[in-house]
Structure 1
Amino acid sequence: MDDDAVFRALADASRRLLLDRLHERNGQTLVQLCAGLDMTRQAVAKHLALLEYANLISTRRQGREKLHFLNVAPINEIAERWIGKFERPQLPVPSELKHALEHPDGEPTE
């Protein structure tokens, strides 16, 4: 997996919007993905090409249509590698410190 390609693809708000739309309804055509967007078909097609290069979407031909499908595997791999390792072990200590500073007399939180 190319982490840089995934991060570059996710850095753009328009591409994140396209991923959100595929998350809501997978298997959409270019025309369906363009509906309601303030972008040209060519711009949407370029965004989709970058998402496909980053392996965040896959495509399948169905007759004359090209359907686009969300691939969450690269996002999950990034979450495990870059977010998961920082998430849990360090959180209790700052939380306990915050509570101690906010409640020096030891009163419980609600």
Structure 2
Amino acid sequence: MSLSRRRFMILAASVASTTVFSTESRADAPVLAENDPTAQALGYKADASKVDKARFPRFQNRQTCANCQLYQGKPGSTMGPCPTYGGKLVNAKGWCNAYVKKT
């Protein structure tokens, strides 16, 4: 898999923040707002069906936070923390441009 520099930096930041947040309680983590500056830059939508496909051509149907490698919610949960956003809770049915398919 070939990574662009931008995607590499996003993933590197995600891994680093995972270490920081692993000792903190995530139950009281704030919910990520779509108007958060990082969320806007990465095109985060709480509902993947509302992704601007012209702006984010990488988006494909069936891609959601729940099936992204970065999503740390439990299977079947409606929300879970995402290290891309500093551990804030994202919607399992959401999507952003940092999406990496679970393998």
TM value normalised by structure 2: 0.29
Q: Which has the higher contact order (CA 8 A, sep 6+)?
A: 2
Larger Rg belongs to: 1
Q: Which structure features the higher share of strand residues?
A: 1
